[in-house]
Structure 1
Amino acid sequence: MEEVVTTMTEAFKELCIEGPFNIEKSMSLYNEVYSFCVNDSNRCSIMYSKRCSIMYSMYGDLLKEYIHGTLLQSLRLKLGEFFLKELATRWEHYKDVTRRLSSCFRYLERYYIPQNSIPTLSDVGIDCFNDMVYEQMRAIASPAVISLIGKERDGMKIDRDLVNGVRDIFVELGKGSMDLYEKDFEQPMLDDARDYYSRKASMWISECSCPEFMVKVEESLIREEERGRCYMHPICSTTEKKLVSRVENELLVVHETELLVKEGSGLKSLLRDNKVDDLARMYRLFSRVRDGLKPISIVFKEHVICEGMALVKQAAGDEASKKMENKDHVAEGLLQEAQVLLIGRFIELHDKCLVYVRDCFQNDTLFFRVLKKGFEVFCNKSIAGTSPAESLAVYCDFILKKRGHGLTDDTFEHVVKLFAHFNEKDLFAEFHRKKLARRLLFDKDSDEHEKCLIAKLKQQCGGPFTSKMEGMVKDLTISRDMQKSFEEFIQSNSEANPGIDLTVTVLTTGPWPSYKTCNLNLPPEMLRCVQVFKEFYQSRTKRRRLSWVYSLGTCNIIGHFEPKTMELLVNTFQAAALLLFNSSNRMSYSEIKDQLGLTDEDVNRVLHSLSCAKYKILNKEPDSKNISETDYFSFNSKFTDRMRRIKVPLPQVDERKKVVEGVAKDRRFAVDAAIVRIMKHHKVLGHQQLMSECAEYLGRTFKPDFKLIKKRIEDLMGREYLERDANEHNVYRYIA
């Protein structure tokens, strides 16, 4: 048997190692192996197993002899890239050798190996290479591969196919497991990348500005992603992700804080100098790492608050200087100008920050949230006792009075976006409604712009928020139609002609602000107009009652002065007072008050506007700036002005206090309704949860004071809507 084995061994060497592959000879050797193993007909005998075992051992011995005599000899004394090239070449040749030998020992693969559960011929080949070659050479192979990749990072051109060839050896030697690949190829590559970029990052952070550092980081990440894809084995798809993650950690996570606060070029400087491209690059980079955007959002919020507070301080300083210039009295026009200027600056800042969020931060919800929180800090600060809600209403009034000059949908969009950050939305609604009423009544042809702003407010806050505003606009449309009908009524009924041109605006009480009504004793000319319109209105409806608001009326009257005749645009009160002087040249304060039937407050305002203000249509005795009950008034026949048509303004009554008090009253009702609605849903609820849900529910229109909520809870308990739980003091029960 030994002679047969020796003969077959020499034949195998000749076929598989030293000579070219010969299929006929391979088949002949296969038959020899077969004949040797099944020498007798009893395949289950001990002899059969022994013969197969001899052939199985021969297969391994042949491979070991080849490795020892040929393969190892060629690898010795080679280092670095030369070693890797030789290793790759010898590995390919070794695989060819195992294939040749396996074809001759195929019989063992079919019967003997499965029956005995021993390693396959392929596994034997890999095990031989692993034990005799790889275990000796791994200390050279792995560092050599990593060295090549390191040269590539430094800009040198390397043989990537060689690296991938060696990588495949790690995978194939694992026999289906990636442990060898991960331990001897992937992990050293990851560690080398970490060390390399740790050194680079330390150098860049000290030498480069923030934008320059980020450019280098972005370029490095692009190269590492491409490198990871190139060297990643198809079976192990996580290599690229692991590699890039290591690089991101060293370049971004480790140095983020230092980078953001870098003197002269950090995030605050980029925001201040409007470096959009650099900010976008920063977002792209730090969005790659976990929680990388949070520090950026914090700095962004601080920047927004800092910019906004600077505007607030500037506005406060302007107010103080104006008070100094005006001896502690700021004219209404100057105050409104300051309010308009401040809100305009807020809108500019908001638009600028929105550009950052949209173009630099890719509409990230995190930055929308911090932008909102930042604006809420300074947008809700009162300046010189003026509520931010009032300032925004003044701004809206200012732009809407432009009557289309530069107004677009975008203008109102900017206003509403800023409005979303205001806490006292209900207070704004009341101030805005007051000013909307005056615009609709006195500034004609502005309905379309009013409707546009109302529509955007409705979209932001819902239908109930704008229902009264929409009702006011609708009233004006109906009133215009009624005015046309009134004109037709006059034309068709000559006896009903009032003798003067009359325009009446009929409004419903609900949507409009409440106005003070007074029993003005109208002159005969005006009284005739009122009676004619009443007759017309009663012919159209008998269920509605007219209530005249003379304080909102305007009159155009002709004044015959010695220099020239002039047209005066005055309030109804002013017109009634002036018409008194058609029958009397000189009247006392008491006489005027008695004939007009007005209160002292109203009479003072009227006489001050006609005798002490810009246009002195009446002479006052004695001549002073204040109105007294002992004063006398006469018609100033010598009054003149360069204009032939002048508007004589009536001093406006400051209604801020009234508006604020009205809103406070409405808030009490709103809190009551919210508490009842929440308790009706839950039936039983703890104190803290009720407070929290109530604040959240009301937060859409105003930010409620917790003291107010607590007070309203106590009031509702007193009115037997709620009661405390008998066992738990901080738990409330709804009483159905």
Structure 2
Amino acid sequence: MWSDTPESMIHEFEKLLNVPKALLTSGHWLKSDKKSDHSDYSCGTASLREKHDEFMLRELVKRWLNHKIMVRWLSRFFHYLDRYFIARRSLPALKEVGLTCFRDLVYQEINGKVRDAVISLVCSVITFLYTILSSYSSIEMDYYENDFEAAMLKDTAAYYSRKASNWILDDSCPDYMLKAEECLKREKDRVSHYLHSSSETKLLEKVQHELLSVYATQLLEKEHSGCHALLRDDKVEDLSRMYRLFSKIPRGLEPVANIFKQHVTAEGTALVKQAEDAASNKKADKKDVVGLQEQVFVRKVIELHDKFMAYVNDCFLNHTLFHKDFPNLFGQLIGSQRGFEVFCNKGVAGSSSAELLATFCDNILKKGGSEKLSDEAIEETLEKEKLARRLLFDKSANDEHERSILTKLKQQCGGQFTSKNGGDGHRLTLARENQASFEEYLSNNLNTNPGIDLTVTVLTTGFWPSYKSFDLNLPAEMVKCVEVFREFYQTKTKHRKLTWIYSLGTCNINGKFEPKTIELIVTTYQAAALLLFNAADRLSYQEIMAQLNLSDDDVVRLLHSLSCAKYKILNKEPSTKTISPTDVFEFNSKFTDKMRRIKIPLPPVDEKKKVIEDVDKDRRYAIDASIVRIMKSRKVLGYQQLVMECVEQLGRMFKPDVKAIKKRIEDLITRDYLERDKDNPNLFKYLA
């Protein structure tokens, strides 16, 4: 057929390329069964026009496969020319020409019929499949499950196992989760369209197992994209997707919650270290250091809490696994055992985190506090002995804010915890109403007027912290005030006893000094000491202590404040900066100040030590009550189990020390609440 010369081969090849209606373009396979002229080749669809639906598709596939074979062989025959001649002439390659011709001369003409045939066939297959599967379930589900479903589930598991093994190596954690979520969605859609509804749970469980359960650890701990990285980079959307996916597999959220807890602990511990470093580098006194901690450490802790609480609510839908590991921050600091406990129980420059937070909240709620916040900001920020002092000294800026924080404490720690904090402020309101009644009583009984403006706050003992009470020998002016109020109070109730807490009282007295008269704002103790000098020019330490009936510590504190501190209302001999039992005092008539009204504070007591003692005392009572409750219900219990149940009961309030529990058990034995078993010393019995 072909000449031996290259020129003749080129000539023949050109003819072939320029005749699309010839063998290459239409091919003998396009001929109809009947003999036809050249026009049958030009249309290339004669034999396809005579067939319809499935038969037309079968014929099209058959002839397309033949056409590809022919083009491939022709490309091989003319490989040399296709490689050099075509390149020089900038003509399309032989293979490209063959495929283009099939598209233009065949497919473009019959594509409408092909589309309709394919759709019709798919619908028929779906209808057939649905009918078959429906017949499975209507005849008997056993046949459906055994003959079809079992094999389908097995193949599905194998398919996704292969997919997952590749994805876990190549994809980041977010990309992997996107693919897994899409696969689950597609499988769910397939069930709704083609399978019996009973297959959905089984199918999704297979997919979840292969995509998530098998690779859970590897996926969550991916170095640069795992759960730690998502938390670090604030990937809220990815964390939400992680929750959705892992909440569907058995115990799938536990590792996520553990990683979350580890991350919170690490972030909080880093804050503690920063605060420690800042405190150690601060060249200032302790007061300045504490101020720094309040403004920096406490604020950052609250911001950290808000950030991760948003994760709990928004990403993890407040699930109990995350919520119990991340409770309300302030309730946590009071004693719960999870979430922030690891780092919030650490000390910062000698002060506990709880102490710093208490001071921070006190500063916000006090009148004149350095934190000037709106009502909304305070409500957002607030989420104990200092509460009582604020209320009693009328330093609270807003009663509603006080009630708000008490409500939060009660919700977190229970009513028992807040039972001594002013009865939710209700008792304080009654005390104010009581003062108004007292003023009305004085206006109606002019003969009983004490001659001094008197304000008394009466509080029920059980609702407030207990304070040290002394039988202070009041000056005559104050004695009359006490008697008048007692008479008034007896008109309201005769079954209650008044106990005066003079250590919490304040007085405004006029100091008549030679330069000018100055109003002094002092405590009741200080006022009682100063009024002694109305009757004597000089008094010794021992005389003052005897006349006031106070302890040495209290006398030292009040005399130091009046003679050795900023305002020297009394002159002391000898003139030293410490108080001793041999000192002698006299009124400083030459004292003056540029102000006409001054406040003379008492030296601060070690409140931290006192609070620790009070807390330990309260915890002893709580441990006793817990042990008795447990033993009363169980009657007989071993030591280890008793300790475990006691720790579990008290865990919401504080973390009890095992040694403290052991001491309380011993104490209850001596008080005949419990007894040891005679044969087994580690077994205890409850004594009714």
Q: TM-score, normalised by structure 1?
A: 0.65
1:459 aligns with 2:414: no
Q: Is 1:233 matched up with 2:233?
A: no
Task: Say whether the 8 Å CA contact 1:587–1:634 is kept in structure 2.
Answer: yes
> How far has the Cα of 1:355 moved from its partner?
0.6
CA 1:220–1:627 in 2, change beyond 3 Å: closer, same or farther? same
Which of 366, 372, 395 is 1:401 aligned to? 366
- What's the CA shift for 1:620? 4.2
Which residues of 2 match residues 334-733 of structure 1 at below 5 A?
A: 334-335=289-290, 338=293, 342-372=297-327, 373-402=338-367, 406=373, 408=375, 415-416=382-383, 432-433=384-385, 435-443=387-395, 446-471=398-423, 473-561=425-513, 564-582=516-534, 588-636=540-588, 639-725=591-677, 730-733=682-685
1:570–1:647: 8 Å Cα contact kept in structure 2? yes
Residue identity matched to 1:660: I
In the aligned structure 2, how far is the partner of 1:182 from the partner of 1:526?
94
Task: Name 1:204's counterpart in structure 2.
Answer: 171
Shift of 1:571: 1.0
- Matched to 2:284, the amino acid is E
Distance 1:314 1:547 in 2: 47
Please state how far the C-alpha of 1:573 moved relative to its aligned partner. 1.9
Cα 1:203–1:511 shift into 2, 3 Å: closer
For residues 194 and 239 of structure 1, do their structure 2 counterparts lie closer, same or farther at Cα, with a shift above 3 Å needed? farther
Q: Per the alignment, in what secondary structure is the counterpart of residue 469 of structure 2?
A: coil
**Cα shift at 1:669:** 3.8
CA distance in 1, matches of 2:171, 2:565: 71
CA contact (8 A) 1:577 1:596 kept: yes
Give the partner amino acid of 1:398: N
Q: What whole-Å deviation, never above 9, does each CA across 1:600-632 have from its counterpart, x for those lacking one?
A: 322221222223333344444554432234445
Contact 1:472 1:511 in 2 (8 A): no
Residues in 1 aligned to 2:448 and 2:130: alpha-carbon distance in whole angstroms: 107
Distance 1:723 1:356 in 2: 49
CA distance in 2, matches of 1:681, 1:576: 54
Aligned counterparts of 2:611 and 2:175: Cα–Cα separation in 1: 56
Amino acid at match of 2:171: W
Q: Tell me if structure 1 keeps the 8 A contact 2:294–2:357.
A: yes
* C-alpha distance in 2 between matches for 1:184 and 1:717: 68
Quick one: structure 1 residues 80 and 659, their matched pair in 2 at CA, closer, same or farther if it must change by over 3 Å? farther
Q: Which amino acid in structure 1 is aligned with residue 455 of structure 2?
A: T
Asked if the contact 1:225–1:240 (Cα under 8 Å) also holds between the matched residues in 2, the reply is no
Distance across 2 between alignment mates of 1:77 and 1:487: 108
Q: 1:672–1:212: structure 2 CA closer, same or farther, 3 Å change rule?
A: closer
1:394 counterpart SS class:
helix
Describe the shift of the 1:79–1:470 C-alpha distance in structure 2 as closer, same or farther (beyond 3 A): farther
Per-residue deviation, 1:651: 1.6
- Aligned pair count reads 564
CA distance in 1, matches of 2:254, 2:411: 31
Structure 1 residue 275 corresponds to structure 2 residue 242:
no
Q: What is the CA distance between 1:240 and its match in structure 2?
A: 9.1
Shift, 1:184, TM fit: 8.3
- 5+ residue gaps, structure 2, are 1-53, 67-116, 137-142, 328-337
Residue 359 of structure 1, CA deviation: 0.8
Q: Does residue 276 of structure 2 align to residue 316 of structure 1?
A: yes
**Structure 1 alignment gaps of length 5 or more:** 1-70, 84-157, 417-431
Letter in 1 for 2:194: H
State the partner residue of 2:162. Answer: 195
Query: In structure 1, what is the equivalent of residue 106 of structure 2?
Result: none
Whole-Å separation in 1 of the counterparts to 2:309 and 2:674: 46
- Distance verdict in 2 for CA 1:611–1:162, change over 3 Å: farther
Q: Deviations over 1:156-179 (max 9, x none)?
A: xx9677567567778889995556
**Deviation at residue 305 of structure 1 after TM alignment:** 0.5
Greater CA drift, 689-698 or 233-242: 233-242
Q: Which amino acid aligns with 1:359?
A: D
Distance 1:288 1:410, change over 3 A: farther
**Cα drift, residue 716 of structure 1:** 3.6
Q: Distance in 2 between matches of 1:204 and 1:368?
A: 31
Distance 1:474-1:271 versus aligned 2 partners, 3 A rule: same
Would you say the 8 A contact 2:243–2:316 is kept in 1? Answer: yes
Tell me: CA distance 1:459–1:172, structure 2 relative to 1, closer, same or farther (3 Å): closer
Q: 1:443, CA displacement in angstroms?
A: 2.1
Change in CA separation of 1:619 and 1:266 when aligned onto 2, cut-off 3 Å: farther
Letter in 2 for 1:325: A
Post-superposition Cα deviations, 1:122-154, rounded to whole Å, max 9, x if no partner, equal xxxxxxxxxxxxxxxxxxxxxxxxxxxxxxxxx
- Deviation by residue 1:58-80 (Cα, 9 ceiling, x = unmatched): xxxxxxxxxxxxx99x9899789
For the structure 1 residues 598 and 77, does the alpha-carbon distance in structure 2 shift closer, same or farther, using more than 3 Å as the test?
Answer: closer
Letter of the 1:549 partner, please give it.
I
Q: Once the 2 structures are TM-superposed, how far is the Cα of residue 407 of structure 1 from its aligned partner?
A: 6.3
**Offset at 1:365?**
1.9
CA distance in structure 2 between the aligned counterparts of 1:185 and 1:514, rounded to whole angstroms = 74
RMSD: 4.2
Alpha-carbon distance in 1 for matches of 2:537, 2:62 = 123
User: Offset of 1:303 from its aligned partner?
Assistant: 0.5
The equivalent residue for 1:127 is none
Q: 1:537 and 1:360 mapped to 2: Cα distance? A: 58
TM-score between both structures, scaled by the size of structure 2:
0.69
Q: Which amino acid in the other structure matches residue 301 of structure 1?
A: K
Distance, in Å, in 2 between the alignment partners of 1:398 and 1:301 is 30
